[in-house]
Structure 1
Amino acid sequence: MITVFIKPRLFTVFLLTAWSWQTSTAQNNVLQSYIDSALSNNLVVQQKNVSLEKAQTALSIAKGWYYPTVSFQAGYQTAGGGRSISLPLGDLLNGVYSTLNQLTSSTAFPQLKNQEVNFLPSNFYDVKVRTTVPIINPDIRYNREIATQQIQLSDYELEIYRRDLVQQVKTAYFQYLSSLRAVDIYKAALELAQESRRVNQKLLDNGKGLPAYVLRADSEMEQVKAQVAAAEQQARNAQLYFNFLLNRDGTSAIENNYDESSAIASVQRQLSGQPESAMREELKAMTQVVSIRETLLKMNKSVYQPRLSGFLDLGSQAENFAFNNQSRYYMAGLQLEIPLFAGYRNRNKIKNASLDLQSAEIDLTHTRLQLQLAAQVAANNLLAAWQTYDASNRQLEAAATYQRLIERGYREGTNSFIETVDARNQYTQAQLLQAVNRYKVMIAATDLERQTASYSFKK
């Protein structure tokens, strides 16, 4: 009989545990869905994606320099006057042609006129298709390498902002939940103040109370109402900022069914770990900057290497728009360039590139130390926030016990009304402090997550 009783009981416990785990997962998925929405819709992320696409386009442009360049070129010229050269063809050949005609009894050899040929062309055209191709040019190789490195740098910059955005969304969400909790606490305090006012008014009506107690209750009610209004305004501001991060209407509703106990449990696991900043995209980005500076230095040093290119022209040129076998032509050639002297500009460029590389290496070292410090500070802040939260839990328990004792004593006539007001205020402040410190722990954990780059993005 015992076995038969225990099995259904264990099955019920199992179902409750599974339901609790499923509910916790669904509640935590609320925040994850907001993070996914922000990563998809945030305007700065979209801007960073555009920058990444531009870097990819720059790489395509750099690769395009390896291919031949083909262009169509056409020119037309006409002129009159200017320098000329005389060709006495008639004086030189007419006598010979006349003799030949007499000997052959024919007119096969006509008489020629002396010619006057201008140096400037008249009604002249030149049409061609020119193909140029680089053969030796180290600048093209280095530019392609830099463009490839720039893509990786842009990708790191995008990841840096994505991590910043995740931190901002989580922090804004916790601040919103904290403000909602403050509103609930103040409203509960207002209900207690209203009940106190009702009791004191009833005692006064029965001749057992004092008018001062009623006035004091009215004052307490107005004070709490002002606190409720301030808390509600803070909640609206938190709502506006959170929706701004998600790039949606500021008044959009925000789900608040977040599993705080699960989040607090995960914080306890974080406390036992050692902060590590080696995976930060900032370090990867600075390392990439150093690589780009090294490539720029190599490119500047390659200025003394020869550049060789080739060209091929296929076209036609003639006067009076003639087009025949004599007008058509082709021309091929090679062009070699070797820099010899440029007023020390190239040497100074190499020096500047070397200094830029040194500066980038120093920045990398400085960034590494900064990130290590930030990770350690974030871990210390989380530990301090946890200790403060733990103390506020004990303070809340003490304030709740004290408030119950004072309320009981007031009903029994052993404590004054002022003591009940003070006890309620202490309890309200302890509730606020405990709620605020709980969300401060979550915010500190979010900061540590950012400083260690431990958040995992979806693939």
Structure 2
Amino acid sequence: MLSNIKPSLAISLLLLLFAMPKQTKAQEVLENYIREGLQNNLVVQQKNVSLEKAMYSLKIANSYFLPSLDFNSSYNHGEGGRSIALPVGDLLNPVYATLNELVQQNDFPQIENVNQQFFPQNFLDAHVRASMPLFNRDLYYNKSIQQHQLQLQEYEVKVYERELVKDIKTAYFNYLSATEAIKIYESAMALVNKNVEVNQALLKNGRGLPASVLRAESELENVRAQLQDARNAEQNAGRYFNFLLNREQSSPIIVADELTAGLEKDALSRIALKLDTSEIQQREELDMLRTAELINHTVVNMNQSFWMPKLNAFADLGVQAENMNWNSNSRYFLVGLSMDIPIYQGRRNHYNIKQSQLDLKNTQLSLNHTTQQLQMAADVALNNLNTAYQNRQAAQKRLKSAQSYFRLIERGYTEGTNSLIEFIDARNQLTSAQLQLSISTYKVLSAMAEYERESGAYPLY
């Protein structure tokens, strides 16, 4: 990438790097705005909410490894339906009658046959159940997936934060460009006003022409309209900048002294340090895809281990009673193990494996494709930055020429050797050159912000 930059440009950038101070007031102003935006922006807050939800999802996944304790109770009462006849009377009454004859007493009463229903009557069962998984591979896979999902949300927050940093910088530079345009048009207004006054004085003294006065006044109205457009652009740029920072749209925006020069030197020094695009591999977008690849790989492993048994243990401690007849026999405990092993499910598990393998392959292809896209975007951004810098160098030369030409025409117009049309044309060239230099300067800074975004060079807090 260094070979794409002209030697003179590279030397200039390095000289700027060693000549600039470590931290300027302009940098502090912009960095404070970036911190404010990262803290207060509504979309960042929404992303952080999603991140917090992912943290709780991981905690939920961890909770499945711990024992669970539940209280269960049921009351049942029913009549009718199926029943079973127990002929206890027919079986025992002859025996009881014989015994009564032997003892000459009626100690053994006659009993009725029993018809026992299947439905319980006034039956209450209340117990506490403790359960715990002893072996379940799905729980481990689920925990791993939730950990990767948490990382995914962290990367997503950083992706938007990088985009927000670029937007804040660009919006700030647009605001400064509009502010600079107002100053340029105000300066032009002063020149045009002076020209109107001169022409009016000449006409009053009989040395000027009414057409010259009208032409000067028309030019004044033209500059006044351009000044109003610049003020509207400044207001709109300020509203958008405050919107990114989640502030009141009418909030004042700080412009430090020598802000343009300070930021430009900082931007160009960063270019000199970031000529290589090797940091592309550190982009959060690629980390997101790598994490998604790990998630899909975990899903494949989980689907492939469908045949592994799931073993759980439980213990119940409770009471059972009919018709609320509580006694020592009502209390009970019950312990047990349960195991689940799938045998045949219509090849559903096999299809799940194939589907998850295709998801994994698709993620790998997306990773390769996105890597190439990000590399291309960084190269394009660096080329745009170099072009913006060269355009600014040309704009500086045009401004010097326009200033010299205007001074000559202004002197000649004052002395009467140049016409009003030539004066207006020279003034327009000067204003246009000033605007072009201002615009090209902020385009360099905006291009730097874009390159920082595409190369992942900006250090997030």
**Alpha-carbon contact 1:275-1:379 (below 8 Å) kept:** no
Distance 2:454 2:416 in 1: 56
Q: CA deviation at 1:113?
A: 3.1
Q: Distance in 2 between matches of 1:60 and 1:397?
A: 66
Structure 1 residue 98, shift from structure 2 partner: 4.4
Helix, strand or coil at the partner of 2:164 = helix
Alignment of 1:252-267 (within 5 A): 252-257=251-256, 259-267=259-267
Partner of 2:356: 353
Matched to 2:212, the amino acid is Y
Partner of 1:197: 196
Aligned to 1:10: none
Q: Does 1:173 align with 2:175?
A: no
Partner residue in 2 for 1:275: 277
Contact 1:132 1:310 in 2 (8 A): yes
Q: Is the 8 A contact 2:312 2:337 kept in 1?
A: yes
Which residue in the other structure is 1:131 paired with? 130
1:121 Cα deviation after fit = 1.9
Residue 281 to residue 427, structure 1, CA distance change in 2 (3 Å): same
Distance in 1 of aligned mates of 2:271 and 2:248: 37
Look up the match of 2:225: 226
Contact 2:177 2:438 in 1 (8 A): yes
Inter-partner Cα distance in structure 2 for 1:454 and 1:24? 18
Structure 1 Cα separation of the partners of residues 321 and 241 of structure 2: 74
User: Is contact 1:396–1:427 with CA below 8 Å preserved after alignment?
Assistant: yes
With CA pairs under 8 Å and 6+ residues apart, which has the higher RCO, 1 or 2?
A: 2
- Tell me the amino acid that sits aligned with residue 457 of structure 1: L
Q: Which residue of 1 aligns with 2:155?
A: 156
Residue 15 (structure 1) aligns with: none
Distance apart, 1:204 and its partner CA = 1.2
User: Which whole-Å deviations, capped at 9, do the CAs of 1:252-303 have from their partners, x for residues lacking one?
Assistant: 1101115222222223323432233122111111111111111111111111
**Letter of the structure 2 residue corresponding to residue 323 of structure 1:** W
Q: For 1:35, what is the secondary structure of its paired residue? A: helix
1:375 pairs with 2:378: yes
Q: TM-score, normalised by structure 1?
A: 0.91
1:47-446 map, 5 Å? 47-101=46-100, 103-104=102-103, 108-257=107-256, 259-272=259-272, 273-276=275-278, 277-446=280-449
Alpha-carbon deviation of 1:103?
4.8
- The equivalences for 1:32-51 within 5 A come to 32-51=31-50
Identical residues among aligned pairs (%): 46
SS at match of 2:282: coil
Code of the aligned partner of 2:270: Q
Which stretch shifts more, 333-342 or 397-406?
333-342
Shift of 1:453: 1.3
The separation in 2 between residues aligned to 1:236 and 1:85, in whole angstroms, is: 91
Pick closer, same or farther for the CA change 1:239–1:390 going to 2, 3 Å: same
Counterpart code for 1:168? D
Say if 2:129 and 2:314, in contact at 8 Å, map to a contact too.
Answer: yes
- Offset at residue 109 of structure 1 (A): 3.7
Measure the CA separation in 2 of the matches of 1:284 and 1:264.
31
SS of aligned partner of 1:247: coil
Partner residue, 1:27: 26
TM-superposition CA deviations, 1:39-95 (whole Å, max 9, x none): 111000000000000000100111111122222222222222333333333333334
Deviation at 1:130, TM superposition (A): 2.0
- Tell me how far apart the structure 1 counterparts of residues 192 and 237 of structure 2 sit (CA, whole Å): 27
Structure-2 residue corresponding to 1:8: none
Q: Which residue of 1 aligns with 2:6?
A: none
Q: How far apart are residue 105 of structure 1 and its match? A: 6.0
Once residues 237 and 268 of structure 2 are traced to their aligned partners in structure 1, the CA distance between those partners, rounded to angstroms, is 27
CA contact (8 A) 2:374 2:454 kept: yes
Q: Which residue of 2 aligns with 1:5?
A: none
Distance in structure 1 (CA, Å) of the matches to 2:351 and 2:113: 63
Query: What do the CA deviations read for 1:163-196 (whole angstroms, capped 9, x no partner)?
Result: 1111111110000000000011011101100100
- Given that 2:193 and 2:220 are in contact with CA atoms closer than 8 Å, whether structure 1 keeps it comes out as yes
Instruction: Give the Cα separation in 2 of the matches to 1:115 and 1:139.
Output: 51
With 122-131 and 353-362 compared, the bigger mean Cα shift is at 122-131
Paired with 1:301 and 1:87, the residues of 2 have a C-alpha distance of: 54
Structure-2 separation of matches of 1:67 and 1:429:
73
Seen in structure 2, the aligned counterparts of structure 1 residues 23 and 309 have a Cα distance that, compared at 3 Å, is closer
SS in 2 for 1:304: coil
Match of 1:452 among 452, 455, 459: 455
Letter in 1 for 2:354: K
| 1-structure distance, mates of 2:212, 2:418 | 13
Q: Which amino acid aligns with 1:248?
A: R
Q: For 1:401, what is the secondary structure of its paired residue?
A: helix
CA distance in 2, matches of 1:378, 1:83: 83
SS of residue paired to 1:303: coil
Question: Are 1:90 and 1:111, in contact at CA under 8 Å, matched by a contact in 2?
Answer: yes
The separation in 2 between residues aligned to 1:307 and 1:240, in whole angstroms, is 59
Shift of 1:323: 1.9
Supply the RMSD in Å over aligned alpha carbons: 1.9
Cα distance in 2 between the residues matched to 1:23 and 1:195? 44
Alpha-carbon distance in 2 for matches of 1:42, 1:305: 48
Residues of 2 paired with 1:343 and 1:24: CA distance? 68
Secondary structure in structure 1 of the residue aligned to 2:281: coil
Go from structure 1 to structure 2 and tell me whether the alpha carbon gap of 1:415 and 1:24 turns closer, same or farther (over 3 Å shift).
Answer: farther
Q: 1:398-434 CA distances to partner (integer Å, 9 max, x unpaired)?
A: 1001000011111222211111110000000000000
The one-letter amino acid paired with 1:307 is K
Q: Tell me, what secondary structure is at the counterpart of 2:119?
A: coil
